[in-house]
Amino acid sequence: MDVKIENSWKNHLQAEFDKDYFIRLTDFVREEYRTKRIYPPANQIFNAFDKCPFDKVKVVIVGQDPYHEPGQAHGLCFSVNDDVPFPPSLDNIFKEIRQDLGTEVPKSGNLERWANQGVLLLNATLTVQAHKAGSHQHKGWEEFTDSVIYSLSNERENLVFILWGAYAQRKGENIDANRHLILKSPHPSPLSAHRGFFGNKHFSKANDYLLQHSKEPIDW
């Protein structure tokens, strides 16, 4: 199957695109876009990959679902388009960055600036029906994104995997901790951020690790 995704990712993931589950997933997603309001826009489903080629990845942040309200989702986990108010989790992420690094909260919640530096902002599920969180779970996306994490874990070295919350931590259970730095904490959601997300210092820890391995740190 010919999937419109950045070429380096296409080379690494072509075997997935030819599997039965992915063909079924593609049929499902096409019908959903044809008959319902689905986020993100269809041409941004693989935006995280298009903005951050396989060999440029330095940090992986694992999310769950795209945002399901109008104008928010654009294919990068936790990120929103310019001029969109920060969702609560993103607001807390910026608060932790300010506390950790002393940087001011940005005016835009668009995290493409991270992706362009090598941060893969990977949701476990890449599409969602409007106003229905989790509506595209268990359709095949999780198997696909597991293969993404597996490829990075096994074919790259000295990456930082940031896993916030139990869901992301389960998703990252098979990452090779001998080859990579794995950072875990509660989720930045207002329901859990005060249980250990605030103060986790993941942003400075990620940069320290990158510097130790002769990589440019991320300008968070």
Q: Which of 68, 56, 52, 57 is nearest to 6 (CA)?
A: 52
In whole angstroms, what is the distance from residue 93 CA to residue 188 CA?
Answer: 6
Handedness of CA 112, 60, 57, 218 (dihedral sign): positive
Asked whether the beta carbons of 190 and 87 are under 8 A apart, the reply is no
**Dihedrals phi, psi of 191, to nearest 5 degrees:** -70, -25
Between CA 12 and CA 54 the distance in angstroms is 8
Q: From the candidates 18, 20, 50, 65, which is the catalytic residue? A: 65
- The helix/strand/coil state of 28 is helix
Q: Cα–Cα–Cα angle for 2, 148, 77, nearest 5°?
A: 100
> In Å, how far are 30, 68, 99 from 167, measured between CA atoms?
26, 18, 25
- 198 Cβ contact list (under 8 Å, min separation 6): 92, 95, 96, 99
The answer to whether 208 is a known catalytic residue is no
Positions annotated as catalytic residues are 65
